[in-house]
Amino acid sequence: MSTKGASAALFLLSLPCVPAPPGKSTIAASDAMQSLAWNLKYLPVTIAEDNGAGNMMGQTVQGRSQVLLNTSYTERNCQLFAAKGSLSGASKYESMTPNGLGKDCSYSSGKQYTSGTELHKVFANNKAQCCNACVATSGCVAASFLTSSKDHSGGFGPQTWEGFGFHISQAAGSKTTGGISVATLEGHFRDRFGDYSKFDQFMDYGVTLFTYDLQPYIDAFKKDSVPFFVAQWNAAQDTWYSLFFLSKASHYVLEFTSSRAPTVDGVTFPKLEQRMSDDHCKNFKSYGSHPAHALFPVSTNRASSDINAINNVYANQFEATLTQKIDEGGVSRRCYRTGGSSDASTPASLQNVGYQSEI
């Protein structure tokens, strides 16, 4: 198939064991709790440490999560329950019951729920994050958190023990005067993606992350009928693969990419333009597997009707370094590195969405 789309801004690559600000991508959502609960269930993320008690900061409902570092947990450590059972003594556990949005949980230290109706497990850096996971998850009435030497707590803003942030906020008080509502925007994304049988240009408005193997995510999505799209692309002599999907109840587009070929019912994957620079591909191909299927941030992606204007801003005003340039098949793509050793990039012009073609 012909090249379909182009992405944009490579944001920041967090190398293993490097304590540095993780970066984030922020959007508004019509139901931040649904989005947060969905991310916690399917992705190796924890709730942001400064998400607020009961997932509220001031009057804003916060659905912010952070990617799990590959030096952190290897197994999920916060068990959510749909029905409470009995509590038993367990020195390494903290158990809790939620008190609703904007409120901390009621805790039972040194105790674990040993019966009841289990939901699923999520990752948490401490008991407060486990509490917030329960608050966010529909039907959760209790939770038990297994403590360990990997736990962290305290601090406002991004922490060195937190990864890239998926920051989803439900700022209901923010006006959209003269425009459409957030819920309407989300509906447009869902309508455009439809049954995910083909690439849509708006799949380029999101965040790209590398993971060693796409198959665990694909299997989980298939099991729960979560829609997704898979494509392939070439870099040097290698074939790479990208998995696209929407975080629930939001327009947060996520693209996971890997050099390992997934299996999707014998489907032949359509071909896209190269999604990462050669240097990124070479670097990530050296990464091994991880028990938690760790994610590593690659890019934030946008489209532009004027690629020259974008280049003027990033190359001339931001003094960013151009790391990738593509002009082929009606697609123009520019990627940039913005400061330090982290890799960043930016927008592309897409002819097949009616934008100006730079070719």
If you compute the radius of gyration of the chain from its CA atoms, what whole number of angstroms results?
21
Asked whether residue 209 is domain-assigned, the answer is yes
Angle between helices 127-136 and 32-42 (to 10 degrees): 120
158 and 47 in one domain?
A: yes
Q: What pLDDT does 213 receive? A: 98
Sort strands 116-122 and 253-258 into parallel, antiparallel or unpaired. Answer: unpaired
304 and 212 in one domain?
A: yes
Which of 139, 170, 201 finishes a domain? 170
213 and 272 in one domain?
A: yes
- DSSP letters for 272-338: ----S-HHHHHHHTT----TT---EEEEE--B-S-HHHHHIIIIIIS-PEEEEEEEETTEEEEEEE-
Asked whether residue 14 is domain-assigned, the answer is no
Q: What pLDDT does 7 receive? A: 36
Q: What pLDDT does 352 receive? A: 21
Residue with tokens 């455009």: 192
SS3 222: helix
Q: What is the token pair recorded at 35?
A: 């989005």
Asked whether residue 7 is domain-assigned, the answer is no
347 and 324 in one domain?
A: yes
How many independent structural domains does the chain possess?
2
Asked whether residue 296 is domain-assigned, the answer is yes
* Cβ-count burial 254-282 (b if 16+ within 10 Å, e if not): bbbbbbeebebeeeebbbbbbbbbeebbe
Q: What pLDDT does 98 receive? A: 98
192 and 336 in one domain?
A: yes
Q: Could you give the CA distance from residue 142 to residue 140 in angstroms, rounded to a whole number?
A: 6
Asked whether residue 1 is domain-assigned, the answer is no
Asked whether residue 101 is domain-assigned, the answer is yes
Q: What pLDDT does 339 receive? A: 63
- C-alpha torsion 231→233→239→242, nearest 10: -40
What residues does 242 pair with on adjacent strands?
231, 257
State in Å, rounded, how far the first CA of the chain is from the last one: 19
349 and 212 in one domain?
A: yes
SS3 311: helix
Which of 143, 170, 197 finishes a domain? 170
- 64 closest CA partner among 143, 192, 158, 193: 158
341 and 231 in one domain?
A: yes
250 and 128 in one domain?
A: no
Q: What is the token pair recorded at 122?
A: 């999520």
Q: What is the token pair recorded at 193?
A: 């993606």
327 and 238 in one domain?
A: yes
283 and 140 in one domain?
A: no
CATH number of the domain residue 301 falls in:
3.10.180
Q: Could you give the CA distance from residue 92 to residue 147 in angstroms, rounded to a whole number?
A: 5
Asked whether residue 4 is domain-assigned, the answer is no
Which of 170, 193, 219 finishes a domain? 170
User: What is the extent of the structural domain holding 267?
Assistant: 182-353
Residue with tokens 């994050």: 129
Asked whether residue 157 is domain-assigned, the answer is yes
Report residue 211: phi and psi, to 5°.
Answer: -140, 150
232 and 158 in one domain?
A: no
Report residue 12: phi and psi, to 5°.
Answer: -160, 130
Q: What pLDDT does 22 receive? A: 56
Q: pLDDT tens digits, the chain, 359 residues: what are they?
A: 334 443 333 322 222 333 344 588 999 999 999 999 999 999 999 999 999 999 999 889 999 999 999 999 999 999 999 999 999 999 999 999 999 999 999 999 999 999 999 999 999 999 999 999 999 999 999 999 999 999 999 988 889 999 999 999 997 777 778 889 999 999 999 999 999 999 998 998 889 999 999 999 999 999 999 999 999 999 988 999 999 999 999 999 999 999 999 999 888 999 999 998 898 899 999 999 999 999 999 888 887 778 888 888 888 888 888 888 888 877 888 888 776 433 433 333 322 222 222 22
State which amino acid sits at residue 88.
S
152 and 31 in one domain?
A: yes
